[in-house]
Amino acid sequence: MGKLLEQVSSPYDLKKLPVPQLQMLADEIRQLILDSVSKAGGHLASNLGVVELTLALHYVFDFKKDRLLWDVGHQCYTHKIITGRKDKFAHLRRADGISGFPSPAESQYDQFTVGHAGTSIATAIGMALGEQLQKNTGYRIQDTEKKPATSDERRETNKIVVVVGDASIVNGVSFEALNNLGLVKRQLLIVLNDNSMAIDATVGAMAKYFSKVRLSQTYEDLRKTTSNILEHLPGIGKSVEEAMERIKKSIRMVLPASQMFESLNVPYFGPVDGHDIGSLIKLFSALSQLKHPAILHVYTKKGKGFVPAGLQPGKFHSTGPFKMNGDQVQTLTDKDRPTFTDVVGKHLIELAEKDTRIVAITSAMCDGTGLPEFRKRMPERFYDVGIAESAAVDIAAGLARAGARPVVCIYSTFLQRSFDQIFQEVALQNLPVVFCVDRAGLVGADGPTHHGLMDIGFLRMLPNMVLTAPADQIEVRLALEFALAQDKPVVIRYPRDLVPPQKFVRAACSEPFRLGKSVVVRRAKGAPIAIVSYGSVLTEALKAAGLLAQEGLPADVINARFAAPIDQTIIALLGQGKGIITVEDHNLACGFGSAVLELAAAGNATSRKLDAVRLLGAPRRFIGHNSRKCQLMEAGINADEIVRTAKEMLVENQVGI
């Protein structure tokens, strides 16, 4: 750890340093981030870009009482390092360490646990309205801080700052919030951190607009803008409004201020250099005096200070462990098999080469959903709409209505944002849109904001939707072929994981998918129990069956393949007197097992005898950052838990043996 950083354990230590030393501190922090992320993986490029910005914010504001909100949240590493968490930073994203996102449970300096983009402006508006309300009505804030400031202190000085990226601000939720910013009649500073990159390069008209502005700027221009703002901002007591007008006018001479924000009636300042700590400090000091919301547009360089990240910010957006080999980055993974994502990406290309109706759509997740090669090979059939999951689904619906075969590739957790569009524009119209739901299930180090544990539930309520999940590499291909041949919407879910080793591939899993039909993967003569798995957890089901067999307890293993519709033959097992254990990488509530229960209770099965249905899945609580394997263990979604459950059923419930 660098010498200056050793002295800084809180923002108060930071404030003791003279401004000229802050750049040195920034360099030390950058080194710590690089060291830690190279070991543990994490969000690299975005964090390297905001070191100076974060230091300047903490230098000016006092976020023990002021409020700092990070949009998306993955760029909070510097913030964590200087708010008492530098020692735990080596254990970033590990079960025994700190999370990679803001976390009020970790620190009073964090306001919201976030990981999805575009929400911070709206939550900041809410917090500002709460403060206004407190003043107007005199209600007392029930303070959640460990050391609460007195009500008077907070009433006088509480400021709110939001840092939002150029990729997040184009999200619909951001826009809805900006459109309502007029509700706020007090200070609220929005720092627009413009690095022209989301996970992938930001797309869309607003991004083009930003980029046009950006390209027309020289460093000299940025300095001029900065001094211009500083020159005209009023001292305390002077008329803020008048000064604002002067600034606006003079900035307009340098550069047309952002029309977007002006048309939304949001005072806009900038752009300024986001790596010039001294100027940022002056700007924040001045802007903090405003009595109304304002936007400061700041340019930063994603991956600054680490050449490979600067060159490939997409790759280093969220990275696994790596090490430097001279100038070369060497990725450290034990990846001897492809991921489900890799396999989906590969087969989509092959299928799209044969069927020109196939179109791939994603929302700022091209790399993450395995589509870079698709984009390269078939750019005219690839659409990245930016962080706009809702619009992505509606555009897909329109494409399907016009005869195309859209494949929407979005992470399960982000697809939650498209629920209403999947309902109205896809399911209600019964349009053939295919959803490749990546990172479905527990996701590992990203933790609770990123788990995909609800997709089966919210999607299986929708009439017309077919829900399927491949168990292995071969089934990925079969599921895609099946999905693209349907005249209705089909969902394919798969985890953030490697495909199972080849030895797990079963002959039964090579049969083509037939709507609503499961396959028997292992049949044990006279088995009293059937393990019915949905998706890639088939490997755990097979392991469990193997372990049970070793103890002389035979069990069938069934690969359900479909969560909607459920195969009636699964229900029929109950009529044969078998006990059923359902296994899924999803919430127990509303999941695959729940669907099995509903059908069994519906009375149209051969038997409604339900004495022996047990569900395995994630419990109804948030599961923290950890390795995916540990999370599956914690949730009881693995072979050991299947074995334990099977034994319990056999002993306690006297399932026929």
Residues of span 233-272 touching its own copies by CB under 8 A: 258-260, 262-266
Q: Say if strands 268-273 and 293-299 run parallel, antiparallel, or are unpaired.
A: parallel
Q: Which residues contact 38 (CB under 8 A, 6 or more apart)?
A: 321, 322, 323, 324
Q: Is 388 in the site for its own copies (CB under 8 A)?
A: yes
Number of residues that bind its own copies (CB under 8 A): 127
Q: Which of 111, 228, 319, 518 touches its own copies (CB under 8 A)?
A: 111
Q: Is 141 in the site for its own copies (CB under 8 A)?
A: yes
How far apart (Å, rounded) are the C-alpha atoms in residues 11 and 360? Answer: 46
Q: Closest Cα to residue 69, out of 126, 141, 121?
A: 121
| Helices assigned H by DSSP within 144-274 | 151-157, 172-179, 205-215, 219-232, 240-254, 259-263
Q: Which residue do the tokens 């060291």 mark?
A: 35
Whether 361 contacts 203, CB under 8 Å: no
Contact pattern from residue 290 through residue 309 relative to its own copies, giving x for each residue in contact according to CB under 8 A and a dash for the rest: --------------------
Quick check: is 241 catalytic? Answer: no
Contact pattern from residue 544 through residue 583 relative to its own copies, giving x for each residue in contact according to CB under 8 A and a dash for the rest: ----------------------------------------
Q: Which residues contact 401 (CB under 8 A, 6 or more apart)?
A: 429, 431
Q: Is 429 in the site for its own copies (CB under 8 A)?
A: yes
Q: Is 371 in the site for its own copies (CB under 8 A)?
A: no
298 forms beta bridges with 193, 272
Q: Which of 34, 82, 181, 434 touches its own copies (CB under 8 A)?
A: 181
Scanning 50-58, 84-92, 111-119, 220-228 for contacts with its own copies by CB under 8 A, the matching segment is 111-119
Scanning 21-29, 54-62, 445-453, 635-643 for contacts with its own copies by CB under 8 A, the matching segment is 445-453
**What's the closest the beta carbon of residue 571 comes to its own copies, in angstroms?**
13
According to CB under 8 A, which residues from 579 to 618 bind its own copies? 587-590, 593-595, 597-598, 600-603, 608-611, 613-615
Scanning 14-22, 275-283, 323-331, 620-628 for contacts with its own copies by CB under 8 A, the matching segment is 620-628
Whether 117 contacts 71, CB under 8 Å: yes
Residue tagged active-site, from 405, 417, 477, 628: 417
Of how many residues is the chain composed? 657
- Integer angstrom CA distances of residue 524 from 315, 553, 616, 638, 650: 47, 9, 21, 20, 16
Tokens of 224: 């001029």
Q: Which of 6, 19, 95, 104 touches its own copies (CB under 8 A)?
A: 104
Q: Is 396 in the site for its own copies (CB under 8 A)?
A: yes
Burial class (CB in 10 A: 0-12, 13-18, 19+), 208: exposed
Which residue pairs from 244-251 have beta carbons closer than 8 angstroms and sit at least 24 positions apart in sequence? 244/290, 251/225
Q: Is 150 in the site for its own copies (CB under 8 A)?
A: no
**What's the closest the beta carbon of residue 421 comes to its own copies, in angstroms?**
7
Residues 272, 273, 277: CA angle, nearest 5 degrees = 115
Whether 92 contacts 36, CB under 8 Å: yes
Q: Is 230 in the site for its own copies (CB under 8 A)?
A: no
Scanning 28-36, 300-308, 382-390, 530-538 for contacts with its own copies by CB under 8 A, the matching segment is 382-390
Scanning 121-129, 282-290, 343-351, 510-518 for contacts with its own copies by CB under 8 A, the matching segment is 121-129
According to CB under 8 A, which residues from 456 to 485 bind its own copies? 457-458, 460-463
Element (H, E) at 192: strand 188-194
Instruction: Select 31 or 132, whichever has its Cβ closest to its own copies.
Output: 132
Taking the alpha carbons of 434, 473, 595, 609 in that order, is the dihedral positive or negative? Answer: positive
Residue tagged active-site, from 28, 52, 389, 641: 389
Instruction: Select 139 or 219, whichever has its Cβ closest to its own copies.
Output: 139
Quick check: is 417 catalytic? Answer: yes
Q: Is 9 in the site for its own copies (CB under 8 A)?
A: no
Element (H, E) at 52: helix 51-60
Q: Is 488 in the site for its own copies (CB under 8 A)?
A: no
Quick check: is 302 catalytic? Answer: yes
Q: Which of 167, 170, 360, 529 touches its own copies (CB under 8 A)?
A: 170
**What's the closest the beta carbon of residue 403 comes to its own copies, in angstroms?**
3
Q: Which residues are catalytic?
A: 302, 389, 417
